Structure 1
Amino acid sequence: MQFKKILLTFTTALIGAVSFAINQTHTTQAASDEWSEPVVTLGTSLTASQKQGTLDTLTASLNGADYSTITVDGSTLVKYLNPSGATFTTNSGVWSSAMVQKTSAGSGINVKILSYNGQNNITTITANQYKNAAVTAGVSDANIYVTSATPIDGSGALAGVYAAFAQNGDSLSQSQVTAAQNEMSTLSDITEANKDKDGYSDAQLNNAVAEAKKEMAAKGDNVTNNQITTIVNNQIENNNLTNIITNNQKTAIINMLIKIRDSGALNSSSFKDQAAKVADNIQNNAKDIFNKVNTEENRNFIQKIGIAIGNFFKSLFETVQSWF
């Protein structure tokens, strides 16, 4: 009798464990399937022909694979962009569109601006600015394609990216989204002011910012304003921008990074990794620029001193060694 009770108890427990495992597997699969296909975000102001042209442009790389769509309208802009100081209304037009394709963990954020009928109609925001803003907003591991049927700054596309993540259960922190929008505005203004100066590129600026974020994340969310200032100074020097970035622009970058810290972005375990991957991505896509930045004459002063000291002691050691 006692044996039967034990057997019954064991059987009940086993059935419960199996049921739990099946339920957990089902839940995991459901969550995975929910974000298993790319999402195309379409501006509400597109005409029927523009909408089809936008779909054709954004989904060309899918080779006929499935995707879902969402519409981005003035309300979307108000929700995600106005908290950072934008002045969109629910009646604002939206033309820029995007496709978001989630990728494997650790792959990082990649952004490609696609030409529409042979023309790049994203007039203000660069691919690197999209990447940095996405990291700050909390986006991770995704391929993002952006295009527009008409010349436009590209704000609607990024609002669509935020909306796509929200639709798939990955709601982003509004404080981080606001910091991301401030970041994009700051970097866009600096690039616009310096774009015609010799020795400047948007890639250098965004690489400096991505590397700064990585350093900030390593120090944690208690990184001080003074530490952020030091990080910015070092990154401006490392990216050979010392004689280009003005004091006012440097202050704007420092304040921008302070807002990123205060947004809570540094609390994310993936923030440092995503920022590092964006920096790598920027450098790999602009090797001609960074090969010049990293030449001997462009190394910072401390590096040169260190190399000189090292060479001195090496020469001294070899001289002494020759005496014996």
Structure 2
Amino acid sequence: MKHLKKFSLLALAMLTAVALALPLSASADAIAGQTVVTLGKDLTGTQRDAILKEMGVDETQAKIIEVTNQEEYQYLGKYLKADVIGRHALSSAKIVLTESGKGISVKTNNISTITDSMYANAAITAGIKDADIYVTAPIRVSGTAGLTGIIKAFETATGKKIDENTKQVANEEIVRTQELAQELGDSNKAVQFINAVKQEVAQEKPQTPEEYRDIIINVSNDFNINLNEQTINQLIQFSQHFSSLNIDWDQLAQQFESLRGDIKNILNAEVTRGFFDTIFEWLGDLFSAIGDFFTSASSQK
């Protein structure tokens, strides 16, 4: 009876392991091909028409909503000065939902400082999955407000509300990654660095500011970069906010694995390997324990 109870627990563990390895199904509300466009509320009529034409969107076939300057301040006001955010909402975004497991692709136009991989990275943090994303503006803009439109479009397309704290952290990630890219002079390295920090935070589960600092310093040493004190403190704050999220790590790893286009080479190399190494290490320990159980049971006969 004792052996049977142990076996039942191991069987349950095996089912859990298999469940972790399987892709998550899409939201019941998510329909592949569904398109939602967010337009900056302060676009002129001419600019609005031009952007819809650029996106190849027929107003009768896609849901169109607006993003206001007030919403931009809501998610960026803690991290950027007012003169950086500006007074007009111009950034626009289009999301087309794809089949479950297809992952994320990102393309941009007239975006000066936020790269495709930065959008993809922050979007995944926010819980966005399986979508083609396009961000644009009628004139050259930094792109920091673009994530606000991406998230709003995804919520509308799926009918699933994203937690407000998660939105804040995803927008903070956009800002911190862009600032780091400017400091390093390398946007790809900045994205990889942020992902490495997130991975270490997830694995090490730091509890104190000092432990967060140690992670950031260790990762910076791995990347052979020197960070100024202000950047370190900002990254400590971001890491603490990130660790407070109820992240589905299996889903996160799947989205990195399923990235498409150039962003796959930038993001996938650093993060996905780490996540799946952890998962496979855990599975190895599980099956080793199962083997030990049967060996022990056999020796007691």
After TM superposition, the score normalised by the length of structure 2 is 0.65
In the alignment, what sits opposite 2:135?
A: 146
Relative contact order higher in (CA < 8 Å, ≥ 6 apart): 2
* Mapping of residues 286-301 of structure 1, within 5 Å: none
Alignment-derived partner of residue 103 in structure 1: 98
Partner of 1:236: 220
Deviation at 1:145, TM superposition (A): 0.6
- Residue 260 (str. 1) matches residue 242 (str. 2): yes
For the structure 1 residues 282 and 234, does the alpha-carbon distance in structure 2 shift closer, same or farther, using more than 3 Å as the test? farther
Counterpart amino acid of residue 53 in structure 1: A
179, 183, 186: which one aligns with 1:193: 183
CA contact (8 A) 2:181 2:189 kept: no
Return the alpha-carbon distance in structure 2 between the equivalents of residues 231 and 112 of structure 1: 32
Q: CA deviation at 1:224?
A: 3.8
Paired residue secondary structure (2:133):
strand
* SS state at 2:168 partner: helix
Equivalent of residue 167 in structure 2, options 177, 193, 211: 177
Q: Which amino acid aligns with 1:193?
A: E
Measure the CA separation in 2 of the matches of 1:167 and 1:86: 29
Q: CA deviation at 1:155?
A: 3.5
Instruction: For residue 213 of structure 1, report the CA deviation from its aligned partner.
Output: 2.6
1:219-277 deviations in Å (ceiling 9; x for gaps)? 6xx45456655554454344x4x235445434433331221112x14256523433565
Flag the 1:59–1:75 CA change in 2: closer, same or farther, 3 A.
same
Q: Flag the 1:280–1:206 CA change in 2: closer, same or farther, 3 A.
A: farther
CA distance in 2, matches of 1:278, 1:173: 23
Q: What residue in structure 2 maps to residue 164 of structure 1?
A: 153
Cα pair 1:104 1:141 within 8 Å, conserved: yes
**How far apart in 1 are the matches of 2:207 and 2:72?**
33
Displacement after TM superposition at 1:76 (Å): 3.0
Between Structure 1 and Structure 2, whose CA radius of gyration is higher? 1
Q: Which amino acid in 2 is paired with 1:209?
A: I
Structure 2 runs not aligned, ≥5 long: 1-25, 270-301
Q: Kindly state the Cα deviation for residue 94 of structure 1 after the two structures are TM-superposed.
A: 1.1
- Residue in 1 that maps onto 2:72: 77
Change (3 A) 1:268 1:243: closer
Change (3 A) 1:165 1:80: farther
Q: Give runs of aligned pairs for residues 124-139 of structure 1, distance below 5 A.
A: 124-139=113-128
Structure 2 vs 1, CA of residues 43 and 208 (structure 1 numbering), >3 Å: closer, same or farther?
Answer: same
* Cα pair distance change 1:185/1:261, threshold 3 Å: same
TM-score w.r.t. the length of structure 1 is 0.61
Between the two proteins, the alignment pairs up a number of residues equal to: 240
What is the aligned-residue identity percentage?
24
Distance in 1, Cα, partners of 2:116 & 2:215: 24
1:31 aligns with 2:17: no
Residue equivalent to 1:56: 53
- Cα distance in 2 between the residues matched to 1:281 and 1:208: 17
Superposed CA offset, 1:62-96 (max 9, x none): 9x9942211222243244444667659xx931111
Residue 173 of structure 1, CA deviation = 0.9
Cα drift, residue 107 of structure 1? 3.0
Q: 1:285 to 1:37 in 2, by over 3 A?
A: same
Cα distance in structure 2, aligned partners of 1:109 and 1:216: 24
Question: Please, which moves more after superposition, 268-277 or 147-156?
Answer: 268-277
- 1:58/1:265 CA distance change after superposition, 3 Å: farther
Indicate conservation of the 8 Å contact 1:211/1:276, yes or no: no
Amino acid of the structure 1 residue aligned with 2:263: I
| CA distance in structure 2 between the aligned counterparts of 1:272 and 1:141, rounded to whole angstroms | 13
Deviations 1:106-130 (A, max 9, x none): 333322112xxxxxx2223222221
Sort the Cα spacing of 1:249 and 1:278 in 2 relative to 1 into closer, same or farther, 3 A.
farther
Cα distance between partner residues in 1 of 2:253 and 2:50:
37
